[in-house]
Structure 1
């Protein structure tokens, strides 16, 4: 992190977190953030469910909720970018304040509640996005007051699917009441059947991912793995934010919402390793949760992730973290004598079980 980036983060951290979030997106849109462009090499190039990625590190959903900064984000070094979540109808989300920095813990708590401009507006923005080597996907959500939440995911995919390279079914946000209930076997099977039917109606087939919670027990994870393998899903994202508050020190630790950042790393990586064992390499896994360094990214690969995502660490480390992590991954792969990071996937899973 250079002096200018450190100064910028310092100024943002003196503001309300949600206002700072909005200003960071504006800074990207107006070209005020130095961006490295796509980062790739033979060591980093990654095949994720048929998507050819310049590198395995993606931006997790939640940062660019309304798809307003896609062009700069695809030049920020990420190997893929996920925007959203989008719901069929626009909704304001939960009352403010709903975003909290936990600086002592290098963490964030949010209870946004799927605030977004709605699938039609977001779809129109996606339709005009610049094409390039960095795949762009959309996180699919459900309206808070919907009478058919399972159907909401299919509706968003039908509207926006023609304009994205992948889509993620998000049944793991803790900020929409009873949404996580859709992770159960029967509910998830029915939901995914509707999503796959919607995908079949798209002009081209796109990969569909499932994002799960880190707060699932072994039996629940086994059910999800079984349903995922039977449903035609292309990958699982492990994991979303947690409801746990174990070991936190910051003043905002008891705020309601999902916790992300450094405290999530161990919990999410153990879930990742369990899923890797349960799916036996038959389904790619995307590791997300607590990554703030190359070593943590490397550990996610060893635990079974074929690709990675981060978001909360940018709050504390800035966009230069992307380059730092990728160069560190490249260095670790070369020191291990590996021609490509894919050769490391799952080789250290046992340490996380």
Structure 2
């Protein structure tokens, strides 16, 4: 039913406008009482709970950063079956993001290209919402993904990240340092070890015991992935999120002229699955078994989640398939994992 609705209605709407409409519905779920009914139906099998980062995740499957940038829909998203919700990317300073249009569907590829540019209301604005959500008795685990403010030069990135850390870490279950979005100029350069090491060390210390992970790009060479893995272990970080969106356009079904007309941005969805799985296996072979690896990129089904877990993921995230599979996506994955 949802796929027919998507084909006939949602696919004809501007992707960002369609996202906002869906988000309004998600925020309303707890208010009208439907969410509590959905939660009972969508809840994961307790036997699938994951213990990591000093936390208990009710499901190994959660929502990746990018969908809920300002912590406005955490409760409704949890009621839809996501075991954790990673909000953000949040920056220290409020920013509108890149000019529109900045979100594009590649329907034939079950993919999306975005150049959103960390549009968000800023770290200080997120604090009261996080406080409220963290205080709820029934809620998903809440991760907070932080990035560099666009107006801040790369050389001044550490104080900028620390401002977000000090504001947000007290209200987060875990913190993710995003240095891998392709949509903020210079950001990916922070993955170079001479810049990455002092940044991660500073955030780790400022987080005051809140688990800190780093999110990396799929476009890194294997040797670069391994160097970041070694750095993560050496700094005693809690884990790695792999991977962010890709700059690659290889292997797409969508005609090259259409893709070229869209222009710059990070590609997510099904085309990213193979590289994301490859990076996961590379990381798991290089880090201790207790280090948390969150695998994201091209995950669509319960079988995909099970494959990532078998390959060494501690937790699994998705986002793009939410747009194509609809509001019951997480519930269907939880049911599939229960039956698997």
TM-score, normalising length: structure 2: 0.91
Which residues of 2 match residues 49-60 of structure 1 at below 5 A? 49-60=53-64
Work out whether residues 239 and 293 of structure 2, in 8 Å CA contact, stay in contact via their aligned partners in 1.
yes
Q: What is the rounded CA distance, in whole Å, between the counterparts of 1:276 and 1:314 in structure 2? A: 27
- Residues 90-119 of structure 1: CA deviation (Å, up to 9, x unaligned): 011111110000001000000011111011
* Cα deviation digits, residues 303-329 of structure 1 (max 9, x gap): 110110000001110121212112222
Listed as ranges, the matches of 1:149-160 within 5 Å are 149-160=157-168
Name the counterpart of 1:169. 177
Deviation at 1:253, TM superposition (A): 2.3
Aligned to 1:93: 97
Deviates more, 1:24-33 or 1:245-254: 24-33
Deviates more, 1:109-118 or 1:34-43: 34-43
Runs of 5+ unmatched residues, structure 2:
none
Greater share of residues in helix: 2
Contact 2:45 2:334 (8 Å CA) reproduced: no
Match of 1:123 among 122, 127, 132: 127
Query: Where does 1:11-90 land on structure 2 (aligned, <5 Å)?
Result: 11-31=9-29, 35=35, 36-37=38-39, 39-90=43-94
Distance in 2 (CA, whole Å) between partners of 1:193 and 1:331 is: 42
Residues in 1 aligned to 2:312 and 2:6: alpha-carbon distance in whole angstroms = 35
- Is 1:239 matched with 2:237? no
TM-score normalised by L of structure 1: 0.88
* Distance change >3 Å, CA 143–CA 33, structure 1 → 2: farther
Aligned partners of 2:301, 2:3: CA distance in 1, in Å?
Answer: 17
State the match for 2:112 in structure 1: 108
User: C-alpha distance in 1, partners of 2:213/2:277?
Assistant: 18
SS at match of 2:12: coil
Measured after TM superposition, the shift of residue 6 of structure 1 is 4.5
The answer to whether the Cα contact below 8 Å between 2:270 and 2:299 also exists between their aligned partners in 1 is yes
Question: What is the CA deviation profile of residues 163-211 of structure 1, one whole-angstrom value per residue up to 9, with x for unaligned ones?
Answer: 12111100010101111111111211100111012112xxxx3211111
Q: Tell me the SS of whatever aligns to 1:112.
A: coil
Q: Is the 8 A contact 1:81 1:134 kept in 2?
A: yes
1:307 lines up with 2:322 in the alignment: no
Tell me the alpha carbon deviations over residues 203-257 of structure 1, each in whole angstroms, 9 at most, x when there is no partner. Answer: xx32111111011112101110111001121111110001110011225423311
Kept in 1, the 8 Å contact 2:78–2:140? The answer is yes
* Residues 74 and 140, structure 2, Cα contact 8 Å, conserved in 1: no
Q: Which residue of 2 aligns with 1:342?
A: none
| From 169, 180, 191, the counterpart of 1:183 | 191
Deviation at 1:29, TM superposition (A): 1.3
Alignment match, 1:270: 278
- Aligned partners of 1:224, 1:312: CA distance in 2, in Å? 26
Structure 1: gaps of 5 or more residues: 333-353
Instruction: Determine the C-alpha separation between the residues in 2 that align with 1:151 and 1:300.
Output: 35
Aligned mates of 2:174, 2:151 — CA distance in 1: 26
Q: Assess, with a 3 A threshold, how the Cα gap between structure 1 residues 70 and 243 changes in structure 2: closer, same or farther.
A: same
